[in-house]
Structure 1
Amino acid sequence: MRTDSRLPRVLHALLHLEQAEEPLTSEQIGKMLNTNPSLVRRTMAGLREAGFVGSTRGHGGGWVLERPLNEITLADVYAALGSPELFSLGRSGDAPACLLERAANRATSAALDAARETFQAELERVTVADLVRPHAREIREHQEKRTGKVPEAGGQ
């Protein structure tokens, strides 16, 4: 079964955009996410429509954050991605007149609805900025080793 990894990948990109000192190109983001720049452009376009990112063309152009990450919940990003299906499970349609199949479909649907509600509630509770807080010290140390400089206060 193929999985949809757009949500964690987009969150990863947003976290890097927050740290970037200049716009990131689709090519840079694609390399970071090990994906095609055209896929990055299509995905980021949905985030732009939601008002999370902006883009500029030309030399020095690329993607930038338009809203602080502490104002964007995971539910917001999930919605901007089109709220992909959580599970590959679905209703059976083999024998629609069969009462037993209907009972099985009701039970399955109820469990899936409960799982979706729980997932949605968790996404609404967490902002993108919350994702780095438990690891702030490790991230800062990693950046210092990588760049040789100490990031500004508030940066992750």
Structure 2
Amino acid sequence: MSLDSRLSSVLHLLLHLMESQEAIPSGRLATALNSNPVVVRRTMAGLRDAGLVSSEKGHGGGWRLACDPARTTLLDVYRALGSPTLFAIGHRSQNPTCLIEQAVNVALDGTLREAEARITARLQTLTLAALASDFHSRRQLSLCAPQENPHAL
């Protein structure tokens, strides 16, 4: 099964944009994701349409953050991506004639709706600024911690 990693990838790119004072070209963003610049441009265009990023053409152009990180939630980003499917499980058929399958569908529907509501509620509480703060804390800890040599005995 292939996982949809777009939300994770986009959050990664948005944090890079937050850290930069300059516009970042699609090629550099693609390198950060080990991806293709065309894929990055296509994804970023959707984020631009949602007002999360802006783009600048020409020499020195690229992408910039256009939203307020303290007010932009992960739910905003998720929605800007088109609210990708959260779960890989679903019904065997949408309109079953079998009463057993109907019961199974009802049980799964309720469970999946409840899980989706909990996930989206959690995404609503997390901001880009909070992610950046966590990143800065981790970076500071890594600078303060002694570097371990995995080959040392």
TM-score if structure 2 supplies the norm length? 0.87
Deviation (angstroms), 1:28: 0.3
Q: SS of 2:2's equivalent?
A: coil
Aligned to 1:133: 133
Moved more, 36-45 or 89-98: 89-98
Deviation (angstroms), 1:50: 0.7
Aligned to 2:85: 85
Q: Distance in 2 between matches of 1:39 and 1:116?
A: 27
Deviations 1:88-119 (A, max 9, x none): 11112288111111001100111111110000
Deviations 1:26-83 (A, max 9, x none): 0000000110000000100111011010001110000001112112100000000010
Query: Would you say the 8 A contact 1:95–1:101 is kept in 2?
Result: no
| Structure 2: gaps of 5 or more residues | 144-153
Query: Would you say the 8 A contact 1:54–1:64 is kept in 2?
Result: yes
Q: What residue identity is the alignment partner of 2:134?
A: P
Aligned to 2:107: 107
Query: RMSD in angstroms over aligned alpha carbons?
Result: 1.8
Aligned to 1:63: 63
| Structure 1: gaps of 5 or more residues | 144-156
Aligned to 2:7: 7
2:63 counterpart of 1:34: no
Q: 1:128 to 1:94 in 2, by over 3 A?
A: closer
Query: Would you say the 8 A contact 1:23–1:63 is kept in 2?
Result: yes
Q: What residue identity is the alignment partner of 2:71?
A: E
- Matched residue count: 143
Q: Distance in 2 between matches of 1:62 and 1:92?
A: 45
Q: Distance in 1 between matches of 2:94 and 2:111?
A: 20
Q: 1:51 to 1:94 in 2, by over 3 A?
A: closer
Aligned to 2:117: 117
Moved more, 65-74 or 55-64: 65-74
Moved more, 132-141 or 51-60: 132-141
Q: Distance in 2 between matches of 1:101 and 1:53?
A: 45
Q: 1:142 to 1:22 in 2, by over 3 A?
A: farther
Aligned to 2:20: 20
Query: Would you say the 8 A contact 1:96–1:102 is kept in 2?
Result: yes
Deviations 1:111-136 (A, max 9, x none): 11111000000011111111132342
Deviation (angstroms), 1:20: 0.7
Q: What residue identity is the alignment partner of 2:122?
A: E
